[in-house]
Amino acid sequence: MYDDIAFNEENPRPGVIINSPNGADVYEGVPKDYTGEDVTVNNFFAAILGNKTALTGGSGKVVDSGPNDHIFIYYTDHGGPGMLGMPTSPYLYADDLIDVLKQKHASGTYKSLVFYLEACESGSIFEGLLPEGLNIYATTAANAEESSWGTYCPGEDPSPPPEYETCLGDLYSVAWMEDSDVHNLRTETLHQQYELVKKRTANDNSAYGSHVMQYGDIERSKETLFLYMGTNPANDNFTFVDDNSFRPSSKAVNQRDADLLHFWYKFQKAPEGSSRKAEAQKQFVEAMTHRMHVDQTMKLIGKLLFGITRGPEVLSTVRPAGQPVVDDWKCLKSMVRTFETHCGSLSQYGMTHMRSLANICDAGITTEQMAEASAQACPSVPASPWSSLRRGFSA
């Protein structure tokens, strides 16, 4: 069964959208079932479960699957330990996603499911959470404690066309898509693609790459990609070669810094004295100010809760491999909401501090203690648009 449902964060806009330097428009003419404000956690889960009555907005399309169907899910956004971004609030939490996947399995409405996930710390969404036996095979752009990386960015080789001031894609996503474009997916297996994508995304084990991971029922990776993606008949005579013809760029951009790169190139290219240059400078400064606010506030909260010496140690602790980022997810969501109530939105950048908030929970701190420390650290919510709670809380 091929029941494609498109979730897209951005509202349709004029112009050509490409994901490689000399690529074709990948947006125009592609059906988009949920865009903008309709891209919500609730609609995403409802679509997976085939629950039309739970939908709000959008086309109303869901994964109306049966027991013999193969499902493919590709999700890309910003992320943090245990959390995935959304263009709306609240964000998506790992425990809720795993619960939905378990519900889908219990309903008997698929034969197998493959999940490709692009986000920073994306491994934390499945690490210690996705059990075997659900007939689910998942791969992620990064492990549970590292960022993913943007590619085809301004200043790289190859670089996007000069009119683009942004990265065109992500290392992991570009790797699996470009591999799928040129291979015969009737014969290439999930495992073969995983190995090629893993090698390319590691970027020769340089500082500009991440570790692609796999979770769940690994034996499903013996299946061919055709079951989940279909294939291009033009590639039917392609003989698979266990090597990657696509070479990674010489460097990549940490995905958390992609917005700063955009503002910087926008500023550099704008004419002196123009409103565009002033706007780019304002956006860059606002983004940096927000980052410093979140970083410094989180450090101060740690010191208020655990002391000057122990605070940084507690916040930076990484649990052993195989364990989820936190045991009490309700506590984690409560800590996020408490922080944001007093200090403003975490935003996409602030997701990097989700592990600190998880460690606060694991240390037994109560919501009341967190509220007191947050109130001391943040006498008021900053006026920055990045800190605004206009769109709601992240939890």
> What are the residue numbers of the active site?
78, 120
CB burial of 370-386 (b: ≥16 within 10 Å; e: otherwise) equals bbbbbeebbeebbebeb
Task: Compute CA 299 distance to the chain's CA centroid, rounded to the nearest angstrom.
Answer: 25
The single-letter DSSP state of residue 189 is B
- b/e for 18-37, b at 16 or more Cβ within 10 A? bbbeebeeeeeeeebbbbee
**Two structure tokens written together for 365:** 């701190």
Backbone phi, then psi, for 76, in 5-degree steps? -140, 130
Q: What is the largest CA-CA distance in the chain?
A: 66
Distance of CA 78 to the CA centre of its chain: 4
Token digits of residue 346: 């975490």
Q: Judge residue 53's burial from the number of C-beta atoms within 10 Å of its C-beta, 0-12 exposed, 13-18 middle, 19 or more buried.
A: exposed
C-alpha 87/C-alpha 43 separation (Å) is 12
Contact 199, 170 (CB under 8 A): no
d(CA 278, CA 25) in angstroms, rounded, equals 30
DSSP letters spanning 318-355: -PPTTS-S-S-HHHHHHHHHHHHHHH---HHHHGGGHH
Both tokens of 367, joined, read 């919501």
Helix (H, G, I), strand (E, B) or coil at 170: strand
**3-state class percentages of the chain: helix first, strand second, coil last, to nearest 5:** 40, 10, 50
Closest by CA to 121, choosing from 107, 102, 136, 142, is 142
